[in-house]
């Protein structure tokens, strides 16, 4: 590796693939392989390879913008910051602190996420903060907390996956969402293991499976219960494990036994022989894993659905054992760390609960404020966005694009337009930023140092490789300047390592304890798994450095009694089922060349050439009924709106289902259609299923 190379990490998904950056043409950087990083071992997808394209001044923001006479115009930093401070102050004075909202992003570093939560609670004094990571894996987080007492995406490193006997992959298309991770499934099969993929579409990932189950969207809960029924009926439970390491089995078993295979077949469309084959493949090896992603999680019953899949690992004695267990494939780059350190409406740094008096005392002491001054829990992400323009009059938004990414997006766009004041910090002029009163251009991944936490719970250090263009500042500098203008002169450092040192203290003793992690360790060890407490004289007289925790729950679970808890859940229908007017189901997802709302990837020529726009995937039988041919525009209509995109006709999808990717704005915006019905526990919207009708609109 050349001496001038900077080892760092990809700015996109939660794999946080390692890469090296070397000097490129015209003062930019070029991506080269970094084979020493164990997650991707040098492999990168197209998004990672082309990530430097967004660093170009030709596609990104380089000067603040202030709206004057209805038009965004270039402005000085002082003018822009003064305008934001004035807008927020006016709102607080006229309507109170909770009329100020803060909305963050799962791509912010741990340092930024931590500071944003602190800024909301002690500078603005508002409870109204959440982030787009609520739309990512909040249902899995809630289910993991209920079952294990702790939420970390994967409680084991990715390297364990190829060594297990069977993987059940539920609602994940790794080949397109995290291409470098597909090698773990390939190696699993090379090692003699088996792969079961559960997805209503026959995706590129499903094509790799030994068994592909294609349930009707919204019926994953019934499918998991049916599999548990078969496990019990065939005597495949691990009774000793259940007795020694779990609680709640009798209730969960009773619920599962009400979901006999033929009943589940009618609900899901998965045949009884397929159910029995899946149970046999999962139970016969000594070890097995269940991995879930957005498919089962983005439902109005997502927490119960994930809980039912966790039940399979508990009933068969797999959770908390080597090469076995349950894990969630987190999607966003720092979706894990973003909620651990204070962006979420109900959490304080270290994954502490905002309603816990001891947690409030600890964090308030680190922040130098009275615990009673900290506001209580606020609204979840969709509820916060839905309240814009009514209860919430002003919004500070960092690193998110809800005009494209939120469910019922046309309604959310209207709510954003109704605000008294909107300030956005972003790298590019996203569809949401284009509606703002003030837009601040901020640094991005290669221009700043900071930590992220990947889907394994591995804390990583991204390192600055280049200097940002003149006129661009970091989010930490923005919050420092705004805090000073709003009367808080101290406590908002601009140096990321200084912020991380404070984060370490704030997280100490919490479930997500980072206190034993330092920047130096992250450089030397290629990342450290949390929890990693700092050594204390009382607990460790030798003062030895904690090694981090790559594998959780091997000795006990994080519950008070050390036992995992079964989820006593039963199937219920999706919030919106097909009817005569809306007879088809819509499900949404991603394509390999674009990422999330596409705000950045849609600015990369190579990625746009591979995925230039939205489409509607539909089965030939449905296309024939519509009289639609390949490429013809078709309209998908739900109770919330209408989207139009070219037809893509394929037998890889169920005849009763259509699929749309959600990366594009405008006429083909998939989230115009999606249902904001919320899970009662996680407050996750039901992105993955809603009732629609499909219409041919002419060539």
In a domain, 514, yes or no: no
Residue 31: C-alpha distances to residues 5, 6, 58, 154, 286 (Å): 9, 10, 19, 28, 41
**Domains contained in the chain, number:** 3
Q: Are residues 185 and 113 in the same domain?
A: no
Task: Output the 3-class SS for 164-212.
Answer: CCEEEEECCCHHHHCHHHHHHHHHHHHCCCEEEEECCECCCCHHHCCEE
Q: 490 and 360 in one domain?
A: yes
Under a CB-based contact definition with an 8 Å cutoff, are residues 681 and 142 in contact?
A: yes
Task: Yes or no: say if 385 and 395 are a contact pair by the CB < 8 Å rule.
Answer: no
pLDDT at 543 over 90: no
- The enclosing H or E element of 585 equals strand 584-589
Instruction: Specify whether 301 is located in the same domain as 411.
Output: no
Determine the pLDDT at residue 24: 83
**Helix H or strand E encompassing 19:** strand 18-23
Reduced to 3 states (helix: H, G, I; strand: E, B; else coil), residue 258 is coil
Q: Do residues 270 and 351 share a domain?
A: no
Identify the pLDDT of residue 178: 96
C-alpha 65/C-alpha 77 separation (Å) is 9
pLDDT at 323 over 60: yes
Looking at residue 120, the DSSP 8-state letter turns out to be I
Question: H or E element: which one contains 72?
Answer: strand 71-74
Q: Mark whether 479 and 621 lie in a shared domain.
A: no
561-579 residue pLDDT tens: 999 999 999 999 999 999 9
The pLDDT, as a whole number, for residue 4 is: 82
Q: Give me the domain span that covers residue 491.
A: 65-135+335-446+463-496
Q: Return the pLDDT at 538.
A: 45
Same domain? For 376 and 481 the reply is yes
Same domain membership, residue 322 and residue 360: no
pLDDT > 70 in the chain, percent: 98
In sequence order, the 6+-apart residues with CB closer than 8 A to the CB of 182 are 174, 175, 205, 208
Angle of the 110-118 helix axis to the 475-485 helix axis, nearest 10: 10
Label residue 540 by pLDDT band (50, 70, 90).
low
295 in the same domain as 213: yes
Q: What is the pLDDT of residues 666-682, one digit of tens each?
A: 999 999 999 999 999 99
Q: Long-range CB contacts (< 8 A, 24+ apart) of 183-192?
A: 183/41, 183/43, 184/158, 184/159, 185/161, 187/161, 187/162, 188/161, 188/162, 188/164, 190/162, 191/162, 191/163
In a domain, 111, yes or no: yes
pLDDT digits (tens, 9 = 90+) for 90-123: 999 999 999 999 999 999 999 999 999 999 999 9
My answer on whether 389 and 483 are in the same domain is yes
Could you say which of 302, 328, 354 is where a domain stops? 328
Question: Taking residues 164-191, what's their average pLDDT?
Answer: 97
651-662 pLDDT, tens per residue? 999 999 999 999
| Residue 112 parent element (H or E) | helix 110-118
Q: Are residues 175 and 319 in the same domain?
A: yes
Last residue of one domain, picked from the residues 328, 351, 380: 328
Tell me whether residue 347 is in a domain. yes
401 and 324: one domain? Answer: no
The verdict on 341 and 303 lying in the same domain is: no
Tell me: the pLDDT tens digits for 448-494?
Answer: 999 999 999 999 999 999 999 999 999 999 999 999 999 999 999 99
**Tokens linked to 61:** 């923001």
- Give the Cα separation of 239 and 554 in Å (integer): 18
Mind giving me the DSSP string for 601-654?
GGG-HHHHHHS-S--EEE-HHHHHHHT--TT-EEEEEETTEEEEEEEEE-TTB-
Residue 367 in any domain: the answer is yes
Cα(565)–Cα(310) distance, integer angstroms: 10
Q: Write down the mean pLDDT value for the chain.
A: 96
Interhelix angle 220-233/261-268, rounded to 10 degrees, is 160
Residue 232 lies in a domain: yes
CB–CB of 501/515 below 8 Å?
Answer: no
How do residues 247-277 score in pLDDT, each as one tens digit? 999 999 999 999 999 999 999 999 999 999 9
CATH number of the domain that residue 410 is part of:
3.40.50.740
Query: Starting at the edge strand that comes first in sequence, how are the strands of the sheet with 166-170 ordered?
Result: 211-213, 194-198, 166-170, 289-292, 325-328
Q: Final residue of a domain: which of 270, 296, 328? A: 328
Could you tell me whether strands 616-618 and 641-649 are parallel, antiparallel, or unpaired per DSSP bridges?
parallel
- Asked if pLDDT for residue 2 goes beyond 50, the answer is no
- Provide the pLDDT confidence category of residue 3 given band limits of 50, 70 and 90: low
Q: What per-residue confidence (pLDDT) applies to 316?
A: 98
Residues 6+ apart with CB under 8 A from 483: 119, 123, 489, 491, 492
Mean pLDDT on 623-645: 97
State yes or no: cis peptide before 627, omega within 30 of 0. no
Q: How far apart are CA 293 and CA 684, in angstroms?
A: 13
Q: Is residue 386 part of a domain?
A: yes
Contacts 24+ apart (CB under 8 A), 524-533: 526/18, 526/36, 526/37, 526/38, 527/454, 527/458, 527/459, 527/460, 527/461, 528/458, 528/459, 529/157, 529/456, 529/457, 529/458, 529/459, 530/152, 530/340, 530/453, 530/457, 530/459, 532/459, 533/508, 533/509
Pairwise CA distance, residues 262 & 23, whole Å: 61
CATH number for the domain that contains residue 176: 3.40.228.10
> DSSP string spanning 561-580?
TS-EE---------SS---S
Residue 597 · residue 663 · CB < 8 Å: yes
Element (H, E) at 22: strand 18-23
- pLDDT tens, 9-34? 999 999 999 999 999 877 789 999 99
When computed from its CA atoms, the radius of gyration of the chain, rounded to whole angstroms, is 24
Helices (H) and strands (E) in the chain, counts: 23, 30
pLDDT digits (tens, 9 = 90+) for 492-507: 999 999 999 999 999 9
Whether the per-residue pLDDT at 1 is higher than 50: the answer is: no
Per-residue pLDDT at 169 exceeds 50? yes
Q: Is residue 486 classed as helix, strand or coil in its secondary structure?
A: coil
Residue 190 lies in a domain: yes
- Which residues have CB under 8 Å from 699's CB, separation 6+? 629, 632, 633
Length of the chain, please? 699
**Residue 619 contacts residue 642 (beta carbons within 8 Å):** no
Note the pLDDT tens digit of each residue in 42-65.
Answer: 999 999 999 999 999 999 999 999
Determine, yes or no, domain membership for 626.
yes
DSSP reduced 3-state for 459: strand
CATH number at residue 588: 2.40.40.20
CB atoms within 10 A of CB 376: 10
Q: Mention every residue, 6+ apart, whose C-beta is less than 8 A from residue 137.
A: 153, 294, 297, 328, 330, 331, 335
Beta pairing partners, 66 = 73, 438
**Chain Cα centroid distance, residue 618:** 27
Indicate whether 517 pLDDT > 70: yes
């Amino acid at each position: 590796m050349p001496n001038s190379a900077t080892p760092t990490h990809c700015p996109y998904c939660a794999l946080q693939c390692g890469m090296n950056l070397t000097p490129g043409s015209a003062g930019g950087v070029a991506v080269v392989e970094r084979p020493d990083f164990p997650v991707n071992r040098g492999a990168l997808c197209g998004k990672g390879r082309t990530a430097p394209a967004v660093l170009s001044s030709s596609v990104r923001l380089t000067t603040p913008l202030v709206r004057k006479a209805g038009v965004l115009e270039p402005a000085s930093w002082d003018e822009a910051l003064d305008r934001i401070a004035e807008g927020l102050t006016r709102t607080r004075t006229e309507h109170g602190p909770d009329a100020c909202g803060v909305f963050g992003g799962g791509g912010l570093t741990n340092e930024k996420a931590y500071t944003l939560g602190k800024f909301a609670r002690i500078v603005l004094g508002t409870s109204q903060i959440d982030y787009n990571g609520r739309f990512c894996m909040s249902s899995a987080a809630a289910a993991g907390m209920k079952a294990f007492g702790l939420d970390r995406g994967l409680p084991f490193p990715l390297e364990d996956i190829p060594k297990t006997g069977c993987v059940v992959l539920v609602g994940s298309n790794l080949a397109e969402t995290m291409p470098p991770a597909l090698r773990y499934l390939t190696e699993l099969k090379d090692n003699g293991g088996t792969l079961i993929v559960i997805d209503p579409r026959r995706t590129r990932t499903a094509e790799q499976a030994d068994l592909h189950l294609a349930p009707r969207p919204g019926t994953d809960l019934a499918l998991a219960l049916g599999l548990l029924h078969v496990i019990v009926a065939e005597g495949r439970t691990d009774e000793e494990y259940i007795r020694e390491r779990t609680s709640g089995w009798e209730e969960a078993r009773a619920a599962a036994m009400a979901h006999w295979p033929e009943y589940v077949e009618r609900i899901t469309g998965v045949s009884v022989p397929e159910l029995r084959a899946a149970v046999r493949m999962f139970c016969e090896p000594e070890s097995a894993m269940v991995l879930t992603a957005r498919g089962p999680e983005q439902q109005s019953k997502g927490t119960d659905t994930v809980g039912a899949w966790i039940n399979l690992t508990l009933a068969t004695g797999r959770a908390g054992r080597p090469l076995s267990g349950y894990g969630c494939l987190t999607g966003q780059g720092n979706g894990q760390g973003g909620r651990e350190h204070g962006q979420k409406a109900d959490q304080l740094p270290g994954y502490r609960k905002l309603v816990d008096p001891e947690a409030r005392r600890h964090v308030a002491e680190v922040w130098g404020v009275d615990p009673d001054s900290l506001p209580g829990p606020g609204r979840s992400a969709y509820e916060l966005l839905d309240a814009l323009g009514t209860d919430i009059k002003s919004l500070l938004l960092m690193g998110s694009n809800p005009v494209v990414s939120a469910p019922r997006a046309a309604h959310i766009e209207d709510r954003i337009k109704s605000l008294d004041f909107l300030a956005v910090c972003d790298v590019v002029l996203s569809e949401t930023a284009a509606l703002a009163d003030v837009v601040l251009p901020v640094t991005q991944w290669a221009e700043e140092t900071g930590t992220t936490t990947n889907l394994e719970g591995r804390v990583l250090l991204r390192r600055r490789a280049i200097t940002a263009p003149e006129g661009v500042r970091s989010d930490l500098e923005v919050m420092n300047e705004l805090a000073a203008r709003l009367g808080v002169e101290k406590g908002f450092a601009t140096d990321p390592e200084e912020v991380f040192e404070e984060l370490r203290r704030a997280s100490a003793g919490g479930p997500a304890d980072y206190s034993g992690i330092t920047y130096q360790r992250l450089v030397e060890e290629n990342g450290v798994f949390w929890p990693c407490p700092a050594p204390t004289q009382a607990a460790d007289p030798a003062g030895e450095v904690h090694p981090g925790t790559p594998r959780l729950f091997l000795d006990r679970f994080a519950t008070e009694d050390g036992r995992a808890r079964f989820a006593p859940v039963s199937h219920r229908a999706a919030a919106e089922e097909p009817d005569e007017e809306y007879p088809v189901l819509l499900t949404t997802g991603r394509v390999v060349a674009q990422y999330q709302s596409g705000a950045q990837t849609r600015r990369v020529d190579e990625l746009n050439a591979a995925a230039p726009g939205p489409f509607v995937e539909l089965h030939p039988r449905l296309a024939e009924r519509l009289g639609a041919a390949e490429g013809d525009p078709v309209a998908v209509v739900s109770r919330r709106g209408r989207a139009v995109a070219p037809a893509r006709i394929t037998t890889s999808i169920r005849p009763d289902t259509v699929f749309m990717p959600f990366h594009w704005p405008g006429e083909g915006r998939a989230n115009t259609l999606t249902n904001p019905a919320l899970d009662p526990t996680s407050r996750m919207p039901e992105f993955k299923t809603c009732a629609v009708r499909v219409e041919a609109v002419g060539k």
